[in-house]
Structure 1
Amino acid sequence: MIAYPHIDPVLVSLGPLKVRWYGLMYVLAFVGAYYILKQESRRREAPLSRDQVYDLLSYAALGVILGGRLGYVLVYNLPYYLAHPMEIIAVWKGGMSFHGGFLGVVVAGWWYCRKNNLPFWKLADFSVLPVPLGLFMGRMGNFINGELFGRETDVPWCMVFPMGGPICRHPSQLYEGFMEGILLFFILFILSRKVRPEGTIFWSFVGFYGTFRFIGEFFREPDPQLGFVLGPFSMGQLLSFPMALLGFFMVYHSYRKARTGASLPLPPRS
């Protein structure tokens, strides 16, 4: 067993104002994304100028917050929020869904492209590279908060989390941070170094994220209000499995279309 490092979730407290590690992780993720995309915008084939990167991230921030919160409310804990509607806006108490946030970012990106007459799939390939950084930061925030911990285990590196009772558990936040963050970033980075059919990098992210999240959920304790929703599978796995299938199918589709000289269809304009 490894001792869980008890880190105060509140980084700085100034009277009623509290700066939490979890919120700081979001800030660091967007700052990191800004600098990664600024560097990527220097490449000849980049769809954005360096000055447009900030505007895109502003849209993305709104999409991830609205989509992530609505996704959590609707999918993970709807009965509670129907009984306590004012809690819906209390994002500082936690409760964000990646799948909802991802859809929110896609919609925001599509709207940005439509407004600025930019190529959607080329922008999607360009902007997806720093997403694993945000996922890594988010998982580190979960770990510091002692939330979304793993299932019971006797592996030598198990930890006892304050909110998980006296049971020794998988530090599943670290597993997911490695797979969805570090490993996925390097996969996308390698793919992005070579010109590929439009949409390939974006759909590779979708496929690999779905795969890594599906695997990681086997070590993670299911959400207590849901438990297992289909046999041994959690809600996260039910949402991630279709992502993996769709992502890898679309990668294949992108290459097949490239060979025939066609391109991926754009989302409808209205």
Structure 2
Amino acid sequence: MTLIETVKELRAWRKAAGRVIFVPTMGALHEGHASLIREARQMAGPEATVASSIFVNPLQFGPNEDFDRYPRTLEADLALCQEAGADMVFAPTVPEVYHADRSIQILESSLSKALCGASRPGHFDGVCTVVAKLFNLVQPDEAVFGKKDYQQLAIIRRLVRDLNFPVEIHGIETVREADGLAMSSRNRYLSAAERAQAPALYAALSQARAAWKDGVTGSRRLLEILHQTLAASASLGRKDYISIVDRHTLQPLDLVQNNGLIALAVFFDKARLIDNVELIR
């Protein structure tokens, strides 16, 4: 596996890389990231190249968020990438990606206004900016993203559509612990008591999805189920949002017939956990 740390090296690598499938990450990698790289490896077969990136993007962190304490575990991350099947990892410094006097940024004005974007203003502008830069640098033919951050996936699809990036986007199912908790770099922030309650997020989502499959299509009733389950089983959690939206437009739904998404974000002290389930016939 090749490690590249500069744009100059990356440009030279890309000239000989052929077809590339790309898995961008912010590091602090876990089994969820490994599954994305393995999926990319399977898509690539023996002919194409699997590229990943490890870059903690400062533009997507708010002033009171965890940029400074976000885990940096490069050596372990590189070992995971290699074991999962990556051929190249791009791991630049912040100055390598952003000029000190940078003055251009991509702004998203629709899909980012709800869900996580409502409480993290500017976050998805930072995501769009760095993903656009990485797409320009790596020039992938395809890219792989997890469905755990469904809003991010929807926005990246819109980014590719609106700015005509020649990149096919793949959304991969969320990887979970044995008790259902979605794998996340921020799970390591949880205390033992918080970790014991955190699986209630997926349990609540699963109960609401089961009710929908049984014929409950009204969002109000589905939300009641979610709130009741969380109140009973996640008393240490503080809800940021719980929403039922169209999975393409992210607009709220009163009735869910098909193509719905239940998404939530819950704080356990300083750890903000997100999760979701699709409602698809």
Q: Same fold (TM over 0.5)?
A: no
Tell me the TM-score normalised to structure 1 length: 0.33
Q: Decide which structure has greater strand share.
A: 2
Tell me the TM-score normalised to structure 2 length: 0.32
